[in-house]
Amino acid sequence: ANWLFNYAASRAQLAGMWRNVVTYLKPGGRLVGLKGNVGLEDHLRRDFRYGIKSTVIGKVDDGLKIHIEANTEPKIEFDGYSLEARLYEEVPVEMGMREVKHHVPTTEDLPDVAGEDMAFWRGFLDNPYCILGTAVKLA
């Protein structure tokens, strides 16, 4: 479910996405996916250092509308949402999931960066723009 939940513009849309997950996931099944880090404040001010730049372009009832640009050729850009952090915890549980976890990357998760400057990666590790999320459907 990579980059799925950042398209929910409201609690109701997020609940609809999780309802679909619960409908089609086997009991005891695990959802795994990348998602935007809801601790967005600092990374919104970043440049393209890690290949992605985000800008707040509006507000919605449950959070922010953001514009995301990838430093690629050709340029890739799209709009998404960053809802209140508590919604990414509450809604999956309300829909029938458990063990909802957000896995923040550590130095052990980085690929082999021998010879690279770890100071470069420190900003990402301190406040990553994406994190791994997991949840298990009730059996």
Give tens-digit pLDDT for 33-46.
Answer: 988 776 655 555 56
Calpha distance 125→61 (Å, rounded): 30
Residue 111 pLDDT level (bands cut at 50, 70, 90)? low
Whether 103 and 110 have beta carbons less than 8 Å apart is answered as no
Give CA–CA dist 28/25, Å, rounded.
Answer: 8
Check whether 8 has a pLDDT greater than 80: yes
The C-alpha atoms of residue 33 and residue 132 are separated, in whole angstroms, by: 6
Label residue 51 left, alpha or beta by phi (over 0 means left) and psi (-120 to 50 means alpha). left
With contact defined as beta carbons under 8 Å apart, do 101 and 28 qualify? Answer: no
* 57-86 pLDDT tens trace: 999 999 999 998 888 999 999 999 989 989
| Cβ atoms within 10 Å, residue 125 | 14
Q: Above 90 in pLDDT, residue 22?
A: yes
Contacts of 77 (CB under 8 A, 6+ apart): 67, 68, 69, 70
What Rg, from alpha-carbon coordinates, does the chain have? 16
Q: Is the pLDDT of residue 137 over 80?
A: yes
Query: pTM for the whole thing?
Result: 0.84
